[in-house]
Chains A and B, each alone.
Chain A
Amino acid sequence: MTTPVIEVACLTKWYGRRRGVEDVSFDVAPGEAFGFLGPNGAGKTTTIRLLLGFLRPTGGSARVFGLDAFDDAPAIHASASYLGSDPGFLGELSGAEQLEYLGRLRGLPRRAWVPLAERLELDPTVRIKRLSRGNRQKVGVVAAFMGHEPLLVLDEPTSGLDPLMQREFLALAAEARADGRTLFLSSHNLVEVERACDRVAIIREGRIAEVSAVGALMGSHWRSINLVLGAPPARDAFDLPDVEVIAMTGREVHLMVRGDVNALLARIAALRVEDIAITTPDVEDLFLRLYRGDEPVPATGGNEEVPA
């Protein structure tokens, strides 16, 4: 059995009387991309700050590369790269100076950031305080990926990035995985996690609600499809397993589907479609379903290891 890169067992953090996280447990295997999904205030950042040794746990343990996350933080940081959700870069420095500073502290060669900055079309000469939120986040993405540390800890890395840069981020994440690096990605964006990760833990109100393979999680949840057809369809046009007709008003149809969508798409293809909108559930929607009790627990769940 491979030793996990991250081992979290019953991890608990209280800020005085305020709950941070409680009884959080999961493992991340070497080379795995692990998503950490939850709404704002769920405990994602607290968990990451515990993993990086910024916070001392109230209970339980967090180990990274077999080392205690709090006691052995500098040794862990030699093998980990981190990007916060809103990095507090120094406004008076330029992007280049900020990246050079972080690169030097991490023992990287001079100008290690240049190829990535060029790839992300970042102007490194501009002072951080003059950069937009998205461009500041670009500096963060460059900082996170400019080294070759075997673990990347990314806290909502695409917040503020435009869709093109989000795609570039996903490409960087895929390349990092291809290099055998391990990704720990916190997000409240299901699509991002679905595209970048193998497994996902869902955290809600400080507790892990579910740990499962991404495919199983996505497959087990409903998607919403809104259609505008050329003509009103037959009443039984969408009579399929796992398809629910929510509303059918003349040419407009609202469906919910879960699992394999191919059969439904084949039915739709036989019709004249004027417009179609498919919506993946957002994280709040997913939680509502999980806690309403009308959603089966995915078949592939638990904390089992995923091969690297």
Chain B
Amino acid sequence: MTRRSSAFAIETSGLVKTFGDERAVDGIDLTVAPGTVYGVLGPNGAGKTTCVKMLATLLRPDAGEARIFGQDVVREAQAVRSCVSLTGQYASLDEDLTGAENLILLGRLLGHGRSAARARAEQLLDAFVLTKAASRQVRTYSGGMRRRLDIAASILNTPDLLFLDEPTTGLDPRSRNQVWEIVRAIVAQGTTVLLTTQYLDEADQLAARIAVIDHGRVIAEGTNGELKASVGAGSVHLRLRDAAQRPEAERLLGACLNVPVQRDADPLALTARVSGSQGESAGQASRALAELARSGIAVDNFSLGQPGLDEVFLALTGDSAQHAEGAAA
């Protein structure tokens, strides 16, 4: 192993990449602890792929620095290459070759002898349930199979750091779950994973820490919990028995929680954002519920929802993820 001692798997400061007038990456600072999944979350065009390409030595930064396990991505590029793998947004496989040939070729390029490369390919195909498709050209593979082969290719030599650039974009839910399982298994063995995604639940599911990026900048960084806490604890949803009582319920709820209350499209429903920590908001909500009962307002259904990362994104960018995506596209 060529890994040099460093406290961080990834360390960047002021990373910049411009394409013409557009600052695709505009001063990104990241630190990623080894052995964790780090999520980079942002809409299309936010600069995620450009950032990953710089870290994987595919693009040269225009300004700033990036180190992978203490090694500079520009000056020590070959050393970095020997400890990282990249699974790009578009499967980086040779479509004309079979699945087995793709893996054998990469095995040879990573320094394995003929028989060792073949043995490793067979093991990987087996582990990724691709043995039956091994001697078929990759062009005949489905999206999920392609992605599995692509990840298999990335762990041919167990990397210290694996970049997964939007690994589940365009996959059906079943394939997506498979990829998630694979990512969990890889991290459990000590590999650090940097995962970019535009799916909020994916970052939520897999990543220990998340950086939200937009227009080439990090606009928020922290654990899932920290990011959620930064927008408030969540929302209270109520469904009343009698629509006529809604104005009264709205007034009471507003007074109790001290926040604006929203009338939903459903004439029986009300929603209120609650602030403060999760413990506090639960207390507030239960007091509000008691208050409603005392005033004789019948509540059929009540829930205290955790804020999703969707709401986090909305709060951070002042725009919904979907909308930002539409604007960037």
> Do the two shown chains form a genuine complex with each other?
no
